[in-house]
Structure 1
Amino acid sequence: MTEATKLSSLKLLAKRYARANRITLHQALDLVAGKLGFANWTKLVSASKNYWLPDPEQLASVEAFVAHALPAADFQTGHPEAMIRRFAFLEQAEHGMIGRHAYRLQVAFHDVIMAGDGWSITVPENPGASPIVQTSTENDGKCPVFDPEFLQKALSLVRDRALQVRGEISTDWPRRSTKSDLDGVVRHPLWGRASGVWFCLHCDGKITGTQIAQNLWHCPGCGASPLDIFDTAFWCEDEGKSLPPVKTDGAVDGDKPDFRVVDDRPKLELNEEKITLLIRSALLDDATNISEKLGAIQAQISVDDEHDVWIALEENLWPHDKEPVQTLIVAAQLGLEVELESIWSTIPFAWPGLGELTSSTSEFTQMMLDAYAQHGASPDRKA
């Protein structure tokens, strides 16, 4: 690879990084130079004129570095060595420890979630949204997120990963969707339309192109997604011309986390589907032979609005004088009244009495096949 080709490759990587982080190209060039041990891009170019060229390992390190995003403030004020250490820390962030507390980190629909025992922290895709801290209890002195030092470290890690995710989104979008021109005009990343003024379907206000681009096309007022952002307020008579500006404090990731206590204990919701499942299982417990098992499976079970149960059992499969003891016990445990009824319906096989002779399905199947064969019939296997 020639000198010009290698420098072009570095410039291309820097350009990709600038798009991902919504910064200027010269800032990204200086950052790449810092990764290679130079004070800035000018120093790197000077070294290249004196026959310095990056080796394959250095190029690979830059490619890996560019594949991640870091906070924009670091590009302007951070030291390259500090950023490199931070990058190395992020590479190991999927599972780790903060002090003696283990955590796992994952991305779900562009939201970044860190979770541990009895707690979680979520940083939404929306750059203007506050982190959400959820715990299963109030502050009992055991949950680590109530420790300010732990919380600060955890938030830093989750926010950094969120910036990586947003960088990936920005790289996929057109450059003009994440950085306005001199007139403040930006292009919608989904609709492709360009404008300097935008409107949220849920807010009665105008949004500038710079505002919406900086907020990754989420409404700075209510946080609505890019799907709800349009260049005209078509739902207004004057298409939004009279609407006031949407007010925002310009915060990114909110300065104060939103703490929420969530009861994550399992809850039993006894709806019709679950009641029916338990009652049918109890009928199978009551069944002592194949005919009765088939009767339990074929039984018609319905639950009324007051959760009382009606059970209709096929008379040819379930003896009319047999009381389903286990079924009644389960119903009593659930606080249900039971009404039993015998019905006549189409049964699946001839000679239901054969099922009364065995509790083995395989034995019943053979008996049934033999009976059909004695009458000159063979199984009709339909797809």
Structure 2
Amino acid sequence: MTETKQLRRLKVLAKRYARANRIAQHQALDLIAGELGFPHWNKFISASKKGWQANSEQLAGVEAFVRRPLSAATFRKADPEAMSRRFAHLEQAEHGMIGNHAYRLQELLHDVIIAGEGWSIRVPENPGAIPIVETFTEQNGECPVLDPEFLETALSLARHRAAQVRGDISVDWPRRSTKPDLDGVVRHPLGRGESDVWFCLHCDGKITGTQIAQNLWHCPGCGASPLDIFDEPFWSDDGGKSFLPVKEDVAVERDEPNFRIVDGRPKLDLNEEKFILLIRSALLDDATNISERLGALLAEISVDDENCAWIALEADLWPEDKEPVQALAVSALLGLEVELESVWSTIPFAWPGLGEITSSTTEYTKMMLDTYAQHGGSPDRKA
């Protein structure tokens, strides 16, 4: 594959990936470059101009990457680095079986998640937080995580991984952040100084250095993250004198998880935008020629809070005596009362009658261009 063909192929793959996952083209290009070992697309282009080419194995890797979906909408607007981390988490997931049930175990943003069909358990980064069990069935339903022995095994796997994650965090932090001195003084892992007393911005709790170090810099009272922990209560009017000490002395990993039943069924959320989309689609069903189709696309549609719909159709494009049967039927299904109106406004092309003799956009476009050339001069072309 020549350099030009290879570059063109990579751009096509990036475009396909961007469209499939509804992300920006430049994000997809950067992700493709990342699969080839470059920090971003511009670096890849610079190397390509100097003669660098991907080998067949690298191209196969990019092809496989493009076939892998970006399933989490949460990361749709993230930067390429964040999305790459997401893929790394998915690739690092461990797969196994508990009895006859498959599971996937992975770390995500320092939380550990073990999940299977219809259930998941999340062990938070905070050592004192209660694990969260989510199921798609009632407590008396058939779900493996409702079996105490299964739950105990799954929790053990997740907690073991969580201990490894917390160990890795501790290694990355300064030693004084996890080991207080004889006076209980510890250093904030984010560089906010040293102290033997710390304050939680979230709950106004007063925490000892030993407490906060043992709980991996999460508030033992409310669970707030290290971002909310400060050595000075700058938000307090009395310098923190009214703040109460957090009672819990050490982080205790609770045995009983918190169960949550999740309704995974899709929920229909109808709003004005969706009402208009369905009504316009129905108008296109009613259209039998190009003029009427253009009238459906250009129709003014609005829906108010009292479930009344207003449809204004361009008189030169939609026959005044033609009732939009499908649009009215869809509106009735949606519980909307419809008011129809004909309006006169500027239409996109002259000679609207041309669109009444064909249902083919290609044929109409040719006739329209020919008629402009014969009677009205060549149409202006504006980018």
- TM-score w.r.t. the length of structure 2 is 0.71
- Asked whether the 8 Å contact 1:187–1:193 carries over to 2, the reply is yes
After TM superposition, give the deviation of residue 262 of structure 1 in Å.
Answer: 1.7
- Asked whether the 8 Å contact 1:197–1:208 carries over to 2, the reply is yes
**More displaced stretch, 185-194 vs 155-164:** 185-194
The verdict on how the C-alpha distance between 1:119 and 1:236 changes in structure 2, with shifts beyond 3 A counting, is: same
Q: Which of structures 1 and 2 has the larger relative contact order (alpha carbons within 8 angstroms, sep 6+)?
A: 1
Question: Which runs of 5 or more residues in structure 1 are unaligned?
Answer: 1-90
Q: Does 1:246 align with 2:238?
A: no
Structure 2 partner of 1:66: none
The verdict on how the C-alpha distance between 1:178 and 1:288 changes in structure 2, with shifts beyond 3 A counting, is: farther
SS at match of 2:260: strand
Structure 2 partner of 1:36: none
**More displaced stretch, 102-111 vs 140-149:** 102-111
Q: Does 1:134 align with 2:134?
A: yes
Looking at structure 1, the residues matched to 110 and 301 of structure 2 have their Cα atoms a distance apart, in angstroms, of: 44
Q: Does 1:215 align with 2:225?
A: no
Looking at structure 2, the residues matched to 238 and 193 of structure 1 have their Cα atoms a distance apart, in angstroms, of: 21
The verdict on how the C-alpha distance between 1:171 and 1:324 changes in structure 2, with shifts beyond 3 A counting, is: farther
After TM superposition, give the deviation of residue 197 of structure 1 in Å.
Answer: 1.2
Structure 1 partner of 2:46: none
**More displaced stretch, 350-359 vs 368-377:** 368-377
- Asked whether the 8 Å contact 1:205–1:240 carries over to 2, the reply is no
Q: Does 1:258 align with 2:258?
A: yes
Cα deviation code 1:287-322 (max 9, x no counterpart):
111121222121222111123211122222222221
Letter in 2 for 1:169: I
Give the 5 Å matches for 1:3-152. Answer: 94-140=94-140, 142-152=142-152
Structure 2 partner of 1:351: 351
The verdict on how the C-alpha distance between 1:172 and 1:306 changes in structure 2, with shifts beyond 3 A counting, is: farther
The verdict on how the C-alpha distance between 1:345 and 1:170 changes in structure 2, with shifts beyond 3 A counting, is: farther
Give the 5 Å matches for 1:289-308. Answer: 289-308=289-308
Structure 1 partner of 2:228: 228
**More displaced stretch, 370-379 vs 145-154:** 370-379
Structure 1 partner of 2:206: 206
Structure index of larger Rg: 1
The verdict on how the C-alpha distance between 1:181 and 1:371 changes in structure 2, with shifts beyond 3 A counting, is: farther
Identity of aligned residues (%): 77
Q: Does 1:273 align with 2:236?
A: no
The verdict on how the C-alpha distance between 1:317 and 1:165 changes in structure 2, with shifts beyond 3 A counting, is: farther
Aligned length, in residue pairs: 293
The verdict on how the C-alpha distance between 1:364 and 1:256 changes in structure 2, with shifts beyond 3 A counting, is: same
Structure 2 partner of 1:337: 337
After TM superposition, give the deviation of residue 234 of structure 1 in Å.
Answer: 1.8
The verdict on how the C-alpha distance between 1:157 and 1:314 changes in structure 2, with shifts beyond 3 A counting, is: same
The verdict on how the C-alpha distance between 1:381 and 1:182 changes in structure 2, with shifts beyond 3 A counting, is: farther
Letter in 2 for 1:209: G
After TM superposition, give the deviation of residue 150 of structure 1 in Å.
Answer: 0.5
After TM superposition, give the deviation of residue 92 of structure 1 in Å.
Answer: 8.8
- Asked whether the 8 Å contact 1:272–1:307 carries over to 2, the reply is no
Looking at structure 1, the residues matched to 364 and 149 of structure 2 have their Cα atoms a distance apart, in angstroms, of: 68
Looking at structure 1, the residues matched to 126 and 264 of structure 2 have their Cα atoms a distance apart, in angstroms, of: 25
Letter in 2 for 1:269: D
Looking at structure 1, the residues matched to 345 and 174 of structure 2 have their Cα atoms a distance apart, in angstroms, of: 65
The verdict on how the C-alpha distance between 1:248 and 1:118 changes in structure 2, with shifts beyond 3 A counting, is: same
SS at match of 1:340: strand
After TM superposition, give the deviation of residue 229 of structure 1 in Å.
Answer: 1.5
Let me know the Cα RMSD of the aligned residues.
2.2
Looking at structure 1, the residues matched to 172 and 146 of structure 2 have their Cα atoms a distance apart, in angstroms, of: 37
Structure 1 partner of 2:186: 186
The verdict on how the C-alpha distance between 1:299 and 1:109 changes in structure 2, with shifts beyond 3 A counting, is: farther
SS at match of 1:244: coil
Looking at structure 2, the residues matched to 191 and 311 of structure 1 have their Cα atoms a distance apart, in angstroms, of: 61
After TM superposition, give the deviation of residue 94 of structure 1 in Å.
Answer: 1.9
The verdict on how the C-alpha distance between 1:376 and 1:299 changes in structure 2, with shifts beyond 3 A counting, is: closer
Question: Which runs of 5 or more residues in structure 2 are unaligned?
Answer: 1-90
Looking at structure 1, the residues matched to 328 and 286 of structure 2 have their Cα atoms a distance apart, in angstroms, of: 10
The verdict on how the C-alpha distance between 1:157 and 1:199 changes in structure 2, with shifts beyond 3 A counting, is: same
Structure 1 partner of 2:369: 369
After TM superposition, give the deviation of residue 227 of structure 1 in Å.
Answer: 2.0
Letter in 2 for 1:175: R
Dislocated runs of 4+, deviation >4 Å: none
Structure 1 partner of 2:286: 286
Looking at structure 2, the residues matched to 106 and 320 of structure 1 have their Cα atoms a distance apart, in angstroms, of: 62
Structure 2 partner of 1:325: 325
Looking at structure 1, the residues matched to 104 and 377 of structure 2 have their Cα atoms a distance apart, in angstroms, of: 62
Cα deviation code 1:59-110 (max 9, x no counterpart):
xxxxxxxxxxxxxxxxxxxxxxxxxxxxxxxx99622211101122333332
After TM superposition, give the deviation of residue 249 of structure 1 in Å.
Answer: 5.7
